[in-house]
Amino acid sequence: MEWTRKDLKEKAKFSVKSFYWKSVLAAFVLALVSGGLGGGSGRGSDNSETTGITGNGFIDGIGGKYAGMLAFILGLAAIVVFVVVIASLVLSIFVFNPIQVGCKKYFLDASDGNADLGNMGYAFKNNYMNVVSGIFLQNLFIFLWSLLLVVPGIVKAYQYRMIPYLLAEDPNLSFSEAKRLSTEMMDGEKWDAFVLDLSFILWEILAAVTFNLVGIFWVNPYYQYTCVELYKVLRTKVPGPYYAGNSEM
């Protein structure tokens, strides 16, 4: 089925305006659980400040008196970092990922006129572990492909892009089936979907220079509804009883 960026965006704008504040909140929650853990952890150390620590002058200066305490503190810090990383991973897999699917469910239903914020908890009440495993495997596959090179990872990210939406519509889908359906839906569409994402670049720049205020109050919900409209168009390419207008395929 043919689609244009203009058509998708016009429908998305209508949905944002129809359910503005609910959509702003849902998009804000989705942004938090999608990237809220990615902030300040990547800051590197300043070598100019730490070079002297490894030199003999430092060890001689403290005369080895505090060497054991230093080793203990460094070991404790390493344990704390490890625990935080594991806790973040568990939180992401078992809490944040299901909320992402729930937010997709909200935007899907809102685009059809039913804006229910309760849908953000949808995955916790509908085959929760299947949703958890599905999104985990999606992310794992993309990560493993990314280990080869950046480009294969990007391609797979677009190939599996529709998995959260598929699980939002049918949480009983197995990962293999969701992966197959997403692959069929994105066949021949990955480049156009990439260009669609790229068309938001000026909005993203504007959001950045306004300390994300424009992002929170317009760009994020606008983008989410645009993605939903793309999904609704592409789902007609695959057979399934829960795909509107596709029962004859």
Q: 108-137, pLDDT tens digit by residue? A: 999 999 999 999 999 999 999 999 999 999
137-163: average pLDDT: 94
Q: Which pLDDT value is given to residue 205?
A: 96
Residue (of 12, 15, 18) closest to 226 by Cα position: 12
Query: What whole-number distance in Å separates Cα of residue 202 and Cα of residue 32?
Result: 21
pLDDT digits (tens, 9 = 90+) for 53-108: 444 554 455 545 677 788 888 888 899 999 999 999 999 999 999 999 999 999 99
Q: Which pLDDT value is given to residue 16?
A: 97
Residue (of 235, 237, 239) closest to 168 by Cα position: 235
Task: Indicate the pLDDT class of residue 150, thresholds 50, 70 and 90.
Answer: confident
Task: Indicate the pLDDT class of residue 3, thresholds 50, 70 and 90.
Answer: very high
Domain map (residue ranges) of the chain: 5-35+64-237
Q: Which pLDDT value is given to residue 56?
A: 53
* Global confidence as pTM: 0.82
**pLDDT > 50? residue 164:** yes
Query: What whole-number distance in Å separates Cα of residue 192 and Cα of residue 233?
Result: 13
* Structure-model confidence comparison of residues 9 and 52, the more confident one: 9
DSSP assignment string, 97-122: HHHHHHHHHHHHHHHTT---GGGGGH
Q: Is 164 helix (H, G, I), strand (E, B) or coil?
A: helix
DSSP assignment string, 169-218: H-TT--HHHHHHHHHHHHTTTHHHHHHHHHTTHHHHHHHHHTTTHHIIII
Q: Which pLDDT value is given to residue 130?
A: 97
CA distances from 49 to 46, 53, 68 (A): 6, 9, 22
Q: Which pLDDT value is given to residue 191?
A: 97
Q: Which pLDDT value is given to residue 148?
A: 86
Q: Which pLDDT value is given to residue 239?
A: 74
CA distances from 200 to 129, 195, 219 (A): 34, 9, 8
Query: What whole-number distance in Å separates Cα of residue 56 and Cα of residue 91?
Result: 43
The vertex-26 CA angle with 244 and 180, nearest 5°, equals: 40
Cα 81 to chain centroid, rounded: 23
pLDDT digits (tens, 9 = 90+) for 192-235: 999 999 999 999 999 999 999 999 999 999 999 999 999 999 99
Q: Which pLDDT value is given to residue 174?
A: 96
Q: Which pLDDT value is given to residue 71?
A: 83
